[in-house]
A and B are shown apart, each in its own frame.
Chain A
C-alpha cells in the first residue's frame, strides 16, 4: 500500500527556515517523480516543486531561489528545505507522488498524496 507521511511543519518567523519531510512506503521515491503542493488557508492548490527520478528539480516562480527539493534514497524520504520564509508561504504542504501514465502524452499527474503538514509564517 502506498503511503506518504509529511512532518516538519510548524510556526516560524518571517525570514526563518524550515525543512519538511515526506516519508514514503509502498514504492521507491528515487524511481518516481515527486512533488510538493501547497494550499494556503481557505485557498486553492498551488504546485511548488518537483524532483524527477533522474534528479532534475524545478520550482514555482514564487519559491525559486528560496526552496530546495531533495530526497534521501536510503530513507525513501522526500524533503523540502524552505529558507527566507514569508507570510505568504503559510499553507498546508502536501507531498505527492507524480506519475506519468502515457509517455507519448507527457503530462504528470498526482496520484498519491500525503495528509499534509501546516507551515505558519508569523511573528
Chain B
C-alpha cells in the first residue's frame, strides 16, 4: 500500500513561515489533501487537490506538490495555527484512504 511520510514536528516563530512536508513515491503524480487537527477536535480540511483552499481557510495556507514531496505552507504563522497537520491521498488500486503520520506544528 502507498505510504506517506511526514516529519513528527515542526517549530516556527510567530510571523514566520512554516513548511510541512509529505513524502511519497512520485507523490507529484497524485493529488494531496491536508487537514488541521487541534487538541480534542475533529480534523478540518485546509487544502485540497494540492493547493486549493476551502472557503473560510485563510490565504496564509497554501500547498504545492512535485516529485516525491507535497508541501503545506503556512505564512505569517499565528499562535492559533498550532495543531497537528495530516496529508492524505487515495490509493485507487485498492480503494483505500491513506494518511500521513501527522506533523505537530509548534508556534514558539
Contact = CB atoms under 8 A, between A and B. Distances in A.
A61 B33 CA distance: 22
Given A35-B97, A101-B48, A44 B42 contact: no
Contacts, number: 69
A58 interface: yes
A80 to B, nearest CB: 15
Interface residues of B, number: 28
A44 B35 CA distance: 12
Interface in A106-123: 106-111, 113-116
Contact of B35 (A45, A50, A59): A45
Given A50-B95, A107-B49, A113 B90 contact: no
12 contacts: A37-B99, A44-B86, A47-B97, A47-B98, A56-B95, A94-B43, A107-B33, A107-B89, A108-B90, A109-B48, A114-B42, A116-B42
